[in-house]
Structure 1
Amino acid sequence: MGAGEEERVNWLIEFFGDPANWSGSDGIPARLLEHLLFSVAALALAALIAIPLGLWIGHTGRGSLLIVIAANLARALPTLGLVVLIVMLLGTASVWPVLIPLVALAVPAILVNTFEGIRGVDPELRDAAYGMGLAGRQVLGRVLVPVALPLILLGLRLAAIQIVATAAVAAYTGLGGLGRYIIDGLAIRDYPTVLGGSVLIVLFALAAQFLFVMAERIAVSPGVSRRVKVR
C-alpha cells in the first residue's frame, strides 16, 4: 500500500471512528435518514408519473415520440444546473428545489423501460389474451405487466441508483443528506469528511441496487425470468 492509499485509509478510520459523527443532527444516522427521505420521495413521484405513462404508451402505441424525447433527456439533463435554476426560481424554503431535478432525472429511465417492457411482450401472447375474452385493461394488468415486470423493475433500479448518487446536490441548496459531508468538508478542507461522505453515498447506491435485485427475485415469476434471460 502506497503512502496515498494509507493516508486515505486513515481518513476513513478517522471519519467513521469519531463518535461525534454518529450522533446529533449532523451525525451519520441523521444525514442518512435525510438522504433516504429525499431519495424515496423522488423515486415515488417519478414512478407515479412514469409507470402509468409508460404502460399507456406501450399498450396503445400512442405518444411514442415522448419516449424518444425522454431517452435523449436522460443523456442531456444537467442536474446541478437544473437545481441552481429551480433554487433561483423557488428559493430554498422547501425540498422542491431538490425533488424536482431528482424526479426529472429518474422519469426517463422508468418511462423508457416500462414502455420497452410492454412493447416487447410477444404479440401472440397478447392476441391469446384477447382471444380469451379479456378486455384491454385486463390484458394490460394480467398479461402484459407481469411479463414486462423485469424491465419495469430495471427502470426503477436504474432510477433509484441515479437518485441516490445525485441526491448529494441537496447540499447545494442548504438542505441535508449525505452531500453535506462533501460540501461542508470541501469548504473547510476536511478531507476525511469528504471521503467518508463519498463512501457513504456509494454504499447507499449499492444497497439500493441490492434491494431491487432482491425485489425482482421475489416479484418476478421464474417462468418470466427464464424467458427474459433466453431473449
Structure 2
Amino acid sequence: MIFADAFAWLVDPTNWSGSKSIPVRVGIHLLYCLGGVLGAAVIAVPLGLYVGHTGRGGVLLVGTGNALRALPTLGLVTFLYLVLGGGTAGVLVGLVVLAIPPVLAGAYAGVQGVDRGVVDAARGMGMTGAQRLWKVEVPNALPLLIAGLRNATLQVVATASVAAFIGIETLGRPLLDGLRVLDYGQFVGGAILIAVLAVVLDALLALVGRFVVPRGLRLSAQPKRRRKTASVKVGGSTA
C-alpha cells in the first residue's frame, strides 16, 4: 500500500512542474553533492597523497578522520548554518567536512598500499620524490582513491537531505513534508529518489574508474577466488 502511494506520488504530474518540482529538487541536491565532494577532494586528496608519500602524520591523519566520522550530521549542518549566518555556506561546509574522511582514507591508503619494491625500483632509476609520487604511486593508488570518492559521494547524497531542515529545497524536502503530514507515500517516494540518485552517481564514478584506472591494476584487483577459478579452467583445458 505504501509503495503504491509512493508510485502515485512519483508519477503525479503536479510534482514534476513548478519551482518546487522533483527535477528542480534533484538539480539542487546534485549541486550540493557536487560542491561537497569537490571541496573535500581539493582538501583531502593532496593531504592524503602527501602523508602517504612521506609517511609523516599518519597517526594524526587516522585519528582526525575517525573524529570527523563521529560528528552528528544534522547537528553539524545546523551549527555551521547558524555560525556562518545562514545561507548555503553552512550546508556546503558541513558536507565538505563529512566527505573528507573517506576521500582522505582512499588517498592515504592508496599510496601506502603501493608495493614498496616498485617504489624502490623507481628510486633506483633516479626518479625524484615528486616523480615517484606522480608517475608511480598515484597511478597505483587510483583504485582506492576512486573508491574513496565513491564512498564520499554516497554519504553526501544521503547527508544533503538534511539541508531541508533549514529550508533548502533538496530531496530531503519530500521526506520532511511527508513526516509532517503523515504522508508516507511522499516520504517513501522521496527516499526512492535519493536511493536512485545515489546508485546512478555511483555507477557513473565506477564507469569513470574503468577509464582512468590502468587495465593491469583493474585485473590485479579482481577477487582471488575469481582468478583461482579462471586458473582452474585453464588448467582443465590444457589437461
**TM-score w.r.t. structure 1 length?**
0.92
Larger deviation, residues 47-56 vs 174-183:
174-183
- Partner deviation per Cα, 1:125-182 (whole Å, 9 max, x = no partner): 0111122222111111111000010000000000000000110011011111101111
Gaps of 5+ in 2: 225-239
Q: In the alignment, is residue 106 of structure 1 matched against residue 99 of structure 2?
A: yes
Residues 1:212 and 2:208 aligned together: no
Q: Secondary structure of the equivalent of 1:229?
A: coil
Corresponding pairs, count = 224
The aligned residue for residue 9 of structure 1 is 3
Listed one character per residue, the Cα deviations across residues 13-70 of structure 1 (whole Å, up to 9, x for unaligned) are 2211210101111111100000000000000000000000000000011111232213
2:64 corresponds to 1:70: yes
Write the letter of the residue equivalent to 1:103: V
Q: What is the match of residue 4 of structure 1?
A: none
> Do structure 1's residue 188 and structure 2's residue 181 form an aligned pair?
yes
Partner in structure 2 of residue 170 of structure 1? 163
Which residue number in structure 2 is paired with residue 50 of structure 1?
44
Contact 1:74 1:109 survives alignment (8 Å): no
Amino acid in the other structure paired with 1:107: I
Q: What displacement does 1:184 show?
A: 1.9
Query: Structure 2 counterpart of 1:17, which letter?
Result: V
2:78 pairs with one of 75, 79, 84 = 84
Q: CA deviation at 1:73?
A: 2.1
DSSP-derived class of the 1:213 partner: helix
Structure whose CA Rg is larger: 2
TM-score by length of 2: 0.89
Of all paired residues, the percent bearing the same amino acid is 44
Q: Which residue of 2 aligns with 1:18?
A: 12
Match of 2:172 in 1: 179
**Alpha-carbon distance between aligned partners in 2 of 1:187 and 1:9, rounded to the nearest angstrom:** 19
3-state SS of 2:198 partner: helix
Kindly tell me: are residues 182 and 91 of structure 1, through their superposed partners in 2, closer, same or farther at Cα, counting changes over 3 Å? farther
For 1:112 and 1:10, the matched residues in 2 are separated by: 41
Letter in 1 for 2:196: L
Task: Write the mapping of 1:216-227 to structure 2, written as runs, cut at 5 A.
Answer: 216-227=209-220
Match of 1:121 in 2: 114
Name stretches of at least 5 consecutive residues in structure 1 with no aligned partner: 1-6
State the alpha-carbon separation in 2 of the partners of residues 99 and 222 from structure 1. Answer: 35
- Mapped contact 2:36–2:96 kept (Cα < 8 A): yes
Q: In 2, distance between residues paired with 1:33 and 1:47?
A: 21
Q: Secondary structure at the match of 2:3?
A: helix
In structure 2, what is the equivalent of residue 153 of structure 1? 146
